[in-house]
Structure 1
Amino acid sequence: MESPHGVYRIGDRGEAVAEIVGKLQRLGLLTGGHDVYDVYDEATAHAVRGFQQQRGLMIDGIVGPQTYSAIDDARWRLGDRLLTYVPTHPLSGDDVLALQAKLQELGFAVARVDGIFAADTQRAVTEFQRNMGLPADGTCGPSTFKALQRIRPMATGGRPDALRAREAVRAAGPRLSGKTVVIDPGHGGFDHGWEGYGLRESDIAYDLASRIEGRLGATGVRAYLSRGRDQGPDELSRAAFANETDANLCVSLHTDGSMNPEAQGVATYFYGNDLHGATSSVGEQFAGLVQREIVARTDLLDCRTHAKTWDLLRRTKMPAVRLEIGYVTNPHDSARLADPAFRDVVAESIVVAIQRVYLPPEQDAATGMLRLGQLTV
């Protein structure tokens, strides 16, 4: 479900705001005594921030399309509705998350616990139904719900999805040549992102993406940019593009910004939902490698790695990370980002991290030591 009118914040009023307030109340995030239903007030913003923190979203107290969709997803419980695969508009919700987690516990292959009823979830449901002697139609209805409640977990030895993801990386081999990587320069078009000290986030992201693309191409990697220089697709379109390429990895490039000029540093994000214990294991590993390589090779402050449920991280089929490389609103970080030589160092850091995802432990190098000429092509 998408926000029908875009973005809602303090001071807004109307039917859509009343709907948001009502859903927040049903989720227990707003007290029943909240008697101003059609005004987006400070109490509503506080409840939204709490919800965003729970769900791994951007914490700003504003309801945009992604937060609106997440609020709607949160209302569903397993068994509330029929779950089936709709290719053009896959169902999403907490009930799908619960279904995927249960199937995974039982040893049925779900690519990722992401709350989206896609083809992999349909296949897992079908296989479960066959094992239970139920009509194997891939649709989760009353009889399938009952069967799921009766069966105890069978899988042991770690999360099956994580084990499958690591095995896929091992099977891909250490060589970069032949692999596919999507590089996603953030923002673009009329959306410049953060601006400061004469820099635009969209311009820096595109420049970095071009530098990474050239270096990956030299190793034999098929590297694709998710947008042109003057384009600005939304996150769903970027994720769809990455999925269409059947990429091995996806890297989204951003810079950060703040009203506080002292805010600075680099952070890397991967798909993870702490509320439901879902995460991309290879995405987390990749994020750690990228973060450590950049911190080791630059003087940017280490703001660590974090799990988020942003659309690009959640909806890409391959491991994906998002980087926030410095603050354009900070004098130190902006000066570094303005330097082409610094951007070359960041680009090399990211390419090296991509290589290290595929290196077995006995071939891996210490952080900050591997150079482009040493990559396995």
Structure 2
Amino acid sequence: MRELRRGDAGPAVAEVRATLAGLGLLPSANGTPTAPTLDLAGGSTAPMLDPASRSSEAQFDLPLEQAVRAFQQQRGLITDGVVGAATYQALRDATYRLGGRPLAYLVSAPVSGDDVLTLQERLLELGYDAGRPNGVFGAQTEAALRNFQRDYGLTVDGMCGAETVRALRQLSPRARGGQPVLLREQERVRRAGPRLRGKRIVIDPGHGGDDTGVTVDGIRESDLMWDLARRLEGRMVATGMEALLSRGPDQCPTEAERAEFANEATGDVFLSLHCDKNSAPRAQGVATFYFGAGTSGTSTLGEALAGFIQRELTARTGMQNCRTHSKTWDSLRLTRCPAVRVEIGYLTNTEDRARLSDPAFRDLVAEGILVSVKRLYLLGEGDQPTGTFSFADVMRHELAKAE
């Protein structure tokens, strides 16, 4: 669908307005919420609008933009008040409730929605490893569901229908909370060991091909991030890691395709490299992002790695610290391994642009990211103060562990 923004009008705008009203973020024309409305892939059917309210419901006005922003903030999306593909998908997902439709693993078109998220959370609470709760019904969710069905004498078909939903509700644990995903992720890192040798890292240089990303004064984000990715790849290979690039110099996969590449490669870590832009020329600095969706789920190792990268890069480069943030972008949400996106400077800022154009600066960034990955696997043992761990130190640590 085309993007919807303030000033637009029509049935699609009315559909978005009614959905946000159903979610309690916007009053309907008569002042009361309506039911969720998006009629997509088995979702609810939009209510008919009466003639008196149709014209106001079809206008994308300031209150609707504010409601869209509130929804985007809740869902970990870019808070721009524009209904693009990601926001529309999230609106559709928000209309589903567990038990409202059968759920199954579809390889060609994975099912997503809040009902899938609820299923994943309940399986995790009951002790079944459904993976990171991201609202996407994948192979790991199906395996956990089959184990649950087998243990409780249900039909073992990997489908979440009425019988399975009843059992899940009856068996919901008395005590909730804890961090089962965190414990499993930490155990996987502990078992992987502190050495980098043998670890498989997927490096994702942003944009590519005809999509150059941010371009200012002839300096293109896609070119800078491709060069940075190759510098990082060289250092990682030197330590014994297997470094894989998600794209070639003339390719631009979608975010979902980049995540799928990481999953098929069984990557241990996914690193997405980007620059930023802003209409305010003074905006500058570095920020890192990891998967997180409010209280419903967070990639704990992704959050830890994002913190390491943020601290290392700000300490080494002196760039403005724009902190770490949780987001639900597909490149973070759909990867099974810890995933981090790094926004390294603003090309719209003169100082950041000059530094990013310097190959020596990109070497410094590559070293900081490599050291951050090493810190993730050290689990606090034999570590050094932020900004002091060099590439030579990493190599000495690797050789010492090999002896």
TM range (shorter): over 0.9
| Alignment of 1:23 onto 2:11 | no
Contact 1:209/1:253 (<8 A) preserved: yes
Indicate conservation of the 8 Å contact 1:337/1:343, yes or no. Answer: yes
- 1:156, distance to aligned residue in structure 2 (A): 8.3
Report what 2:187 is aligned to. Answer: 167
Q: Which residue of 2 aligns with 1:47?
A: 67
Match of 1:116 in 2: 136
Matched ranges for 1:70-219 at <5 A: 70-153=90-173, 158-219=178-239
Deviation larger for 228-237 or 28-37: 28-37
Are the counterparts in 2 of residues 294 and 346 from structure 1 also a CA contact under 8 Å? yes
Are 2:29 and 2:57, in contact at CA under 8 Å, matched by a contact in 1? no
> Alpha-carbon deviation of 1:154?
7.1
Report whether the alignment pairs 1:367 with 2:386: yes
Q: Residues of 2 paired with 1:233 and 1:79: CA distance?
A: 35
- 1:126 is matched by which residue type in structure 2? R
CA distance in 2, matches of 1:76, 1:288: 33
CA contact (8 A) 2:202 2:269 kept: yes
Is residue 224 from structure 1 mapped to residue 220 from structure 2 by the alignment?
no
Q: 1:344 aligns with which of 363, 374, 379?
A: 363
- Pick one of 288, 295, 300 that aligns with 2:314: 295
Distance 1:360 1:49 in 2: 38
Conserved in 2, the CA contact under 8 Å of 1:197 and 1:331? no
Q: Counterpart of 1:279 in 2: which secondary structure?
A: coil
> 1:291 offset after TM fit, Å?
0.6
Query: 2-side partners of 1:242 and 1:307: how far apart?
Result: 20
278, 281, 292: which one aligns with 1:258: 278
Q: Which has the larger radius of gyration?
A: 2
Partners of 1:133 and 1:100 lie apart in 2 by 19
Percentage of identical aligned residues: 52
Q: Please say if 1:284 is aligned against 2:303.
A: yes
Q: Which 10-residue stretch deviates more, 240-249 or 192-201?
A: 192-201
Q: Distance in 2 between matches of 1:41 and 1:191?
A: 31
Unaligned runs of 5+ in 1: none
C-alpha distance in structure 1 between counterparts of 2:178 and 2:63, whole Å: 41
The amino acid that maps onto 1:181 is I
Aligned residues: 372
Structure with greater contact order relative to length (CA < 8 Å, sep ≥ 6): 1
Q: Deviations over 1:314-367 (max 9, x none)?
A: 001110000111111112211211111111100100011111111132222221
TM-score, normalising length: structure 1: 0.94
Q: Which stretch shifts more, 316-325 or 83-92?
A: 83-92
Aligned pair partner of 1:324 in 343, 348, 353: 343
Aligned partners of 2:292, 2:337: CA distance in 1, in Å?
14
TM-score, with normalisation over the residues of structure 2?
0.88
